[in-house]
Amino acid sequence: MNCVPKIDRRSFVVSAAAMGGGLALGLDIPFGGPRVIRAQDGSPEVNAWVVIRPDDTVVIRIARSEMGQGTLTGLAQLVAEELECDWSKVTYEFPTPGQNVARKRVWGDFFTAGSRGIRESNEFVRKGGAVARQMLIQAAANDWKVPVSEVSASNSVITHTPSGRTTTYGKVAEAAAKIEPPAEVKLKDPKDWKIIGQGVKRLDSLDKVTGKAIYGIDVKLPGMLYAAIKACPVNGGKVKSFDAAKITGTNGVKKVVKVEDYAVAVIADSWWQAKTALDALPIVWDEGENAKVSSASIAAWLKEGLDAEQAFVGNKGGDVKAALASTAKKVEAVYSYPYQHHVTMEPQNATARYTPDKCEVWCSTQNGEAALATTSEACGLPLPKCEVYKTFLGGGFEDMTHGWYHPITQCKLTAGFDADKNLTALHVRISGQSILAKVRPAGLQEGRDPATFSGFYAGGAESAIGYSIPNILVDHSMRNPHINPAFWRGVNINHNAIYLECFMDELAKEVGIDPLEFRRKLMAQHPKHLAVLNAVAAKVGWGTPAPQGVYRGLAQAMAFGSYVAACAEVSVDGNKVKIHRIVGATDPGHAVNPAQIDRQVAGSFVYGLTGLFMGECTVKDGRIEQENFDSYDMMRIAEMPKVESIIMPSGGFWGGVGEPTICVAAPAVLNAIFAATGQRIRSFPLKNHNIQMA
């Protein structure tokens, strides 16, 4: 009998699929050891992921950011499943980026985006829970002087099977924290999961509904001052001059400072004093050549790209040019999609406390480690003297008028049929902005932005096209206006799904085939795409009569590693569109919390439908015209359709759930509108066509 496992330290490799490429991070994860590390309340840390208090409370550390999507609870479920703890006694805490760096990135990546929070950390957080469980069991076995093989754990209770003796996690946590972690742990078979796959209540809901939860803008420190900042309204412009004397020393104003060469900030005793003083501050801007740019000039430039000779290729198979030249029937359509904004409820903000020996920042951030690096760079202190404390997020941050926007694009689609009505060729030309060219040029692949082709990839585990077409070409004429593009929720798949799925309906109409049957014919080699499409069709009774005056539309896609589809039912009365219901199907591989997935699907449809009907940022004199919710509208509760979710995890992979279904809401509704009216709309938002939500 050996009551103490062999001392070894595990090194896990965490694969993080970067946008269009692979990034492998070797993480040295010290799951425990002889030296007891304690939480702030003195409770022993069993390992980096698990702290257990004497009263059996289990504190699970969550590295990813919680911005309403439920990642916090889902990650806790993954750890708790392997830990075999009592879920009713689980709580959480956020480790800091500084702690992560100091401990050799024990918690891995702090970055939260792209629906990757769970799918890219599920394995090593589950191993964290499994290792902690084994250490707790070993501690009990050592105390009882029995073979560890005779000891098991369930619901935070450890049992010696032959004698029936029991103890709890809280009683052995101190001893467990001194044990070296096992070299190997076996994770549970999914069929044995008890917490994963259950719609448990979110761990953060109570604090949020009672107002106890702290967001970045809630942070208050003794004696703190407030700053309001104004940047040149034209991106790329500079500060020419400002008259600080007009406001200095009045209404609590402490100082007026120039921020680099493009902005001015006012520092005052309160936020309102800073804001009103900034509004009163005379500033002269040098707006530069970009002030000549407008929405019309950008649209004209992108239109030229639809027929430009040079383009980056994202997917190529067969010979499209030859196939289209010999086709029996050719169909062409041009679509366009505007700039859009996140319009988050919480304004951009951060609180900093600086001394010559320490700089601390409290903020709502999707990337804690990047925030830490930025803090170090800004204050001039080395990383060990800096710290960032993450709070809850009130949304993915972007300022409305000086922010980052969903990229503007146009798309020309050309298809060819043979004499038997078989789709033999498809050319998709996208003209517009590259996100990576602006935010991460290192991610470009020989100048090509792989993010542009979301939903059109020939294969892969991220966002592959779901149709087999003998001759296909998807390419991108990159044109980057001065307006900053960035990762709007759902990113490029949102407009790409509209382009492809609406065009598929157009093609079905051209050859007189039912839209569902037309798709099925092209999807035999794509069973997971087809499965979600069939699921929504069956749920709504596609092929059977809809209620009088109600029309249906379909869409499907693969996004963020998951397979999704939607079927919308709408009615049209003049210029008013009533969306009665949308059925959405999702195959994320594994469903950690079905209740959260259901809510994420409904929330994603709010995003997708708002963008379709109302979302648009326009450019005049080089600047974004929309400044707040009064000029950038959102759909209302009364306009929200009934949402029915079909969650159908097929196993074997981990997909995202926060963003994928956004992309199928709009094309499903557009196809239903076409079925109702015979009108095919190819530019957005619909408000520009005098179409409103009923």
Domain assignment of residue 327, yes or no:
yes
DSSP class of residue 189 equals P
Tens digits of residue pLDDT in 334-380:
999 999 998 888 888 999 999 999 999 999 999 999 999 999 999 99
> Would you place residue 31 in the very low, low, confident or very high pLDDT band (cuts 50, 70, 90)?
very low
Residue 8 has pLDDT above 80, yes or no: no
Q: How far apart are the first and last CA of the chain?
A: 73
Q: Can you give the pLDDT at residue 402?
A: 74
Task: Specify whether 522 is located in the same domain as 599.
Answer: yes
Residue 242 has pLDDT above 80, yes or no: yes
Residue 13 has pLDDT above 90, yes or no: no
Domain assignment of residue 689, yes or no:
yes
Task: Specify whether 82 is located in the same domain as 138.
Answer: yes
Q: Can you give the pLDDT at residue 348?
A: 87
Domain assignment of residue 5, yes or no:
no
Task: Specify whether 435 is located in the same domain as 465.
Answer: yes
Q: Can you give the pLDDT at residue 690?
A: 98
For the chain, what is the mean pLDDT? 92
Residue 65 has pLDDT above 50, yes or no: yes
CA angle 333, 452, 301 (to 5 degrees): 60
Task: Specify whether 596 is located in the same domain as 517.
Answer: yes
Residue 607 has pLDDT above 70, yes or no: yes
Distances from the Cα of 54 to the Cα of 58, 93, 172, angstroms: 10, 17, 9
Residue 17 has pLDDT above 60, yes or no: no
Residue 605 has pLDDT above 80, yes or no: yes
Domain assignment of residue 398, yes or no:
no
Task: Quote the tokens at residue 71.
Answer: 């990642």
The mean per-residue pLDDT over the stretch 388-415 comes to: 88
Contact 5, 180 (CB under 8 A): yes
Q: Can you give the pLDDT at residue 342?
A: 86
Distances from the Cα of 342 to the Cα of 71, 278, 404, 576, 638, angstroms: 19, 25, 9, 25, 21
Supply the CATH number for residue 250's domain. 3.90.1170
Q: Which domain holds residue 363?
A: 216-288+344-390
Residue with tokens 């742990």: 185
Task: Quote the tokens at residue 506.
Answer: 């157009």
Q: 576-587 and 642-647 as β-strands: parallel, antiparallel, unpaired?
A: parallel
Task: Specify whether 133 is located in the same domain as 190.
Answer: yes
Contact 463, 562 (CB under 8 A): no
Task: Specify whether 428 is located in the same domain as 536.
Answer: yes
**Whether this model's pTM surpasses 0.95:** no
Task: Specify whether 376 is located in the same domain as 487.
Answer: no
> Which comes out higher in pLDDT, residue 400 or 275?
275
Task: Specify whether 538 is located in the same domain as 599.
Answer: yes
Contact 545, 555 (CB under 8 A): no
DSSP class of residue 21 equals E
- Determine phi and psi for 52, rounding to 5 degrees: -125, 125
Task: Specify whether 42 is located in the same domain as 91.
Answer: yes
Q: Which of 208, 225, 245 is the last residue of a domain?
A: 208
Task: Quote the tokens at residue 387.
Answer: 């710290």
Would you list the DSSP string of 213-256? --BGGG---TT--EEEEEE-SSTT-EEEEE-GGGTTTSTTEEEE
Cα–Cα distance, 524 to 422 (Å, whole number): 14
Tens digits of residue pLDDT in 142-192:
999 999 999 999 999 999 999 999 999 999 999 999 999 999 999 999 999
Torsional class of 419: left (φ above 0), alpha (ψ -120 to 50), beta (otherwise):
alpha
Q: Return the percentage of the chain with pLDDT > 70, whole number.
A: 94
Sign of CA dihedral 437, 492, 97, 349: positive
Domain assignment of residue 395, yes or no:
no
Q: Which of 185, 208, 231 is the last residue of a domain?
A: 208
Distances from the Cα of 115 to the Cα of 16, 370, 644, angstroms: 12, 18, 21
> Would you place residue 121 in the very low, low, confident or very high pLDDT band (cuts 50, 70, 90)?
very high
Distances from the Cα of 675 to the Cα of 142, 204, 538, 642, angstroms: 71, 43, 18, 20
Element spanning 276, H or E: helix 271-280
Domain assignment of residue 1, yes or no:
no
Task: Quote the tokens at residue 410.
Answer: 């146009």
Three-state SS for 54-107 is: CCCCEEEECCCCCCCCCHHHHHHHHHHHHHCCCHHHEEEECCCHHHHHHCCCCC
- Determine phi and psi for 303, rounding to 5 degrees: -60, -40
Tally the domains of the chain. 3
Q: Long-range CB contacts (< 8 A, 24+ apart) of 67-71?
A: 67/112, 67/364, 67/366, 67/392, 67/393, 67/394, 67/395, 67/396, 68/393, 68/395, 69/117, 69/600, 69/658, 70/202, 70/593, 70/596, 70/599, 70/600, 70/658, 71/112, 71/117, 71/118, 71/658
> Would you place residue 9 in the very low, low, confident or very high pLDDT band (cuts 50, 70, 90)?
very low
Q: Which of 273-282, 389-398, 435-444, 601-610 has the lowest mean pLDDT?
A: 389-398
Tens digits of residue pLDDT in 456-511:
999 999 999 999 999 999 999 999 999 999 988 899 999 999 999 999 999 999 99
- Determine phi and psi for 230, rounding to 5 degrees: -130, 125
Tell me how crowded residue 169 is: count the other CB atoms within 10 A of its CB. 31
Residue 105 has pLDDT above 50, yes or no: yes
Residue 323 has pLDDT above 70, yes or no: yes
Domain assignment of residue 361, yes or no:
yes
> Would you place residue 42 in the very low, low, confident or very high pLDDT band (cuts 50, 70, 90)?
confident
Tens digits of residue pLDDT in 185-222:
999 999 999 999 999 999 999 999 999 999 999 999 99
Task: Specify whether 383 is located in the same domain as 310.
Answer: no
Question: What count of Cα atoms within 13 Å lies in the side-chain half-sphere of residue 278?
Answer: 20
Supply the CATH number for residue 120's domain. 3.30.365.10
Task: Specify whether 659 is located in the same domain as 526.
Answer: yes
Task: Specify whether 44 is located in the same domain as 76.
Answer: yes
Task: Quote the tokens at residue 163.
Answer: 């004698």
Q: Can you give the pLDDT at residue 350?
A: 95
Domain assignment of residue 134, yes or no:
yes
Q: Which of 172, 188, 208 is the last residue of a domain?
A: 208
Question: What count of Cα atoms within 13 Å lies in the side-chain half-sphere of residue 345?
Answer: 7
> Would you place residue 403 in the very low, low, confident or very high pLDDT band (cuts 50, 70, 90)?
confident
Cα–Cα distance, 473 to 319 (Å, whole number): 8
